[in-house]
Amino acid sequence: MPVINPLTVADKVTQTLKTGVFLTTQVDGKADTMTIGWGSVGLIWGKPVFTVMVRRSRYTWSVIEKSHEFTVSVPTHDMSAAIKLCGTKSARDIDKFEAAGLTAQKGKLITTPVIAGAGMHFECKVLYKQDMIADNLDKVTAERWYGDNDWHTLYFGEIVTAYED
Ligand SMILES: Cc1cc2nc3c(=O)[nH]c(=O)nc-3n(C[C@H](O)[C@H](O)[C@H](O)COP(=O)(O)O)c2cc1C
């Protein structure tokens, strides 16, 4: 699996976020993956960093809080059915890997797996996290996205390796 420089594929990642990518987490041997549509690949603290935003209501949130790591798998072919399922069902209720026909593939440098065959993979260790602070957000954006008070936590994950299938 060829290693890639994450910063050179930031545009491709951003384009694919528009339809959804897989954010995978694991704790105590149980893996979950959920769809995310917001995030970014960039350079922070002199390191390549994948920033993701997870609402506190997600099962995924409770896992990252314990594991302090995650992977992002970016489809380079049509995986829209799995993206839809993983973006609408919770691991609290079903095994999404089984339901979506996905296979968890062992991570290279971290415990969390990636989604086999998706295309591009980023293995990340959380360097910093930040719960959103309501008072710090622009009011129009707050009303548009947080009317239900389900705030995001931002996770800044150092990309320890990135590769293609
Ligand atoms: C296209 C798309 C993008 C999404 N982006 C995000 C996101 O960036 N952050 C988030 O917290 N939830 C996002 N969601 C919602 C979660 O994927 C969804 O609530 C999921 O069922 C959570 O699974 P879990 O409870 O197993 O963690 C998105 C859903 C879709 C369909």
Q: Which of 104, 114, 111 is nearest to 162 (CA)?
A: 114
Query: For 4-32, how does the pLDDT look when each residue is reduced to its tens digit (9 = 90+)?
Result: 999 999 999 999 999 999 999 999 999 99
> How far out from the chain centre does Cα 162 lie?
14
pLDDT of the residue at 1: 85
pLDDT of the residue at 72: 99
Which of 34, 38, 65, 151 to mutate to test ligand 1, by most ligand atoms within 8 A of the CB atom? Answer: 34
Q: 3-class SS at 127?
A: strand
Q: Which atom of ligand 1 lies nearest, measured to the CA of 91?
A: 26
Q: Ligand 1 mean position to 163 CA, how many Å?
A: 24
Q: List the residue whose alpha carbon is closest to atom 6 of ligand 1.
A: 36
Residue 123 in contact with residue 71, Cβ under 8 Å?
yes
Give the phi and the psi of residue 127 in degrees, each rounded to 5: -95, -30
Query: For 140-158, how does the pLDDT look when each residue is reduced to its tens digit (9 = 90+)?
Result: 999 999 999 999 999 999 9
Query: For 48-100, how does the pLDDT look when each residue is reduced to its tens digit (9 = 90+)?
Result: 999 999 999 999 999 999 999 999 999 999 999 999 999 999 999 999 999 99
Residue 134: pLDDT over 90: yes
CA contacts within 13 A on the Cβ side of 165:
13
Residue 38: pLDDT over 90: yes
Q: Compute the mean pLDDT over every residue in the chain, rounded to the nearest whole number.
A: 98
Q: Which atom of ligand 1 lies nearest, measured to the CA of 88?
A: 21
The structural domains of the chain, ordered by start, are 6-164 (2.30.110.10)
